């Protein structure tokens, strides 16, 4: 019996990992099409439940014990309300028809699993299953199943001590798997956080110079369409820091980053902070005219909208903007960045608070 219980747990553990890890958005490689994840997890858990029943521990000729109800709960953690309903239906129907003839025990066992899946799924719509509240669903499922076993045992010679075995095995299986999944979740979050730190600016939360190079490289290598690079630098930012202090200057940098993200969101562009008060915007599918137009919208929006900072102050700033375009102004990251930077410094040289495209300098 011990070997059968261990085998049953190993099947459950394998399912838990395969149904959780590939469907998390925090992992490096995950399963595509998020909308169908609940259905896939539900079907996977249904198949896992069927395998668990095939390797179940026989308490008597008609009563068998396994961790099929634990599978339903795990599917709810990974797949939301839909997954337990689907898995409960699959496992329940499999229990009813897994023998040559439909028996009373098989029918009751199957109905029990179907009811578990539906009840857990329905309640999950209102109270989404999480690592924190999953034990409550487990207690319900275990209590209902143990009660059914007790009723079935009442009409047989099987020892009631087997109910205790079922509860202990269920608790061991569920809480061990739950602990592993929590550890995996924390591990994935830490990895993702470390990755974000490596590619984001600590102050503004924008992409940093390293990510800027990756994005630009992907644009150059993966796209045949033109794109624009916009270099943005705050005018007289040293004077702002001297007048208001560096903490206020940091607030302005953070707010500017937020505004830039909003301004380029409609173009599906990316904003990076490349150091100090300099920001760069990458705009896909954007020929020179579109890049110049976006640069002007950025400049005018910042110039006319003061920045609210601490102590109820309003600080007005302006920016100088330089634009370069691929492939007109360069075929490499260095060439495009140098062109945008040159255009930005030209804007500063002729009076600041202006937008210059690199092509117009050469003309």
Q: Which of 10, 6, 78 is nearest to 44 (CA)?
A: 78
Q: How far apart are CA 157 and CA 204, in angstroms?
A: 70
Are 281 and 229 in contact, with CB atoms under 8 Å apart?
A: yes
In Å, the largest CA–CA distance within the chain is 98
How far is it, in rounded angstroms, from Cα 232 to Cα 114?
Answer: 60
Helix axes 161-199, 68-79, angle to 10 degrees: 20
268 has catalytic annotation? no
Could you tell me the two tokens for 330?
Answer: 């360069």
**Nearest Cα to 191, choosing from 23, 15, 25?**
25
Catalytic, out of 213, 268, 277, 346: 277
Q: In angstroms, rounded to a whole number, what is the distance separating the alpha carbons of residues 348 and 356?
A: 10
In this structure, are residues 210 and 198 in contact, taking their beta carbons and an 8 Å threshold? Answer: yes
Nearest to 304 by CA among 321, 291, 317, 285: 317
The residue written with tokens 């009563």 in the block is 63
Provide the annotated active-site residues: 277
């Amino acid at each position: 019996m011990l070997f059968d219980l261990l085998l049953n747990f190993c099947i459950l553990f394998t399912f838990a990992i395969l149904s959780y890890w590939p469907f998390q958005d925090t992992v490096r490689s995950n399963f595509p099409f998020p909308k169908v994840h609940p259905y896939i997890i539900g079907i996977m858990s249904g198949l896992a439940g069927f395998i668990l029943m095939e390797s179940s521990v026989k308490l008597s000729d008609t009563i068998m014990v396994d961790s099929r109800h634990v599978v339903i709960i795990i599917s709810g953690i990974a797949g939301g309300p839909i997954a337990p309903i689907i898995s409960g239906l699959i496992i329940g129907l499999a229990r009813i028809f897994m023998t040559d003839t439909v028996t009373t025990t098989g029918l009751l066992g199957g109905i029990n699993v179907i009811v578990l899946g539906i009840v857990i799924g329905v309640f999950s719509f209102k109270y989404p299953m999480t690592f924190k509240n999953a034990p409550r669903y487990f207690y319900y499922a275990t209590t209902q199943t143990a009660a059914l076993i007790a009723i079935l045992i009442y009409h047989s010679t099987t020892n009631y001590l087997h109910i205790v075995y079922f509860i202990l095995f269920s608790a061991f299986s569920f809480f061990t798997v739950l602990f592993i999944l929590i550890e995996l979740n924390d591990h994935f979050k830490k990895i993702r956080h470390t990755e974000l730190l490596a590619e984001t600016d600590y102050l503004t939360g924008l992409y940093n110079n390293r990510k800027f190079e990756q994005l630009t490289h992907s644009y150059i290598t993966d796209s045949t369409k033109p794109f624009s690079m916009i270099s943005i630098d705050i005018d007289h930012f040293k004077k702002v820091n001297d007048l208001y202090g560096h903490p206020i200057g940091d607030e302005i940098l953070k707010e500017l980053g937020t505004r830039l993200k909003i301004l380029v969101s409609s173009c599906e562009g990316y904003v990076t902070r490349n150091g100090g008060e300099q920001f760069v915007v990458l705009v896909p599918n954007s020929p020179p005219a579109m890049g110049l137009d976006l640069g002007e919208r950025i400049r005018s929006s910042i110039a006319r909208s003061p920045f609210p900072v601490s102590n109820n102050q309003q600080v007005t700033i302006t920016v100088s903007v330089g634009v370069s375009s691929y492939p007109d102004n360069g075929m490499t990251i260095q060439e495009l960045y140098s062109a945008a930077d040159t255009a930005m410094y030209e804007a500063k040289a002729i009076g600041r608070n202006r937008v210059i495209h690199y092509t117009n300098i050469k003309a």
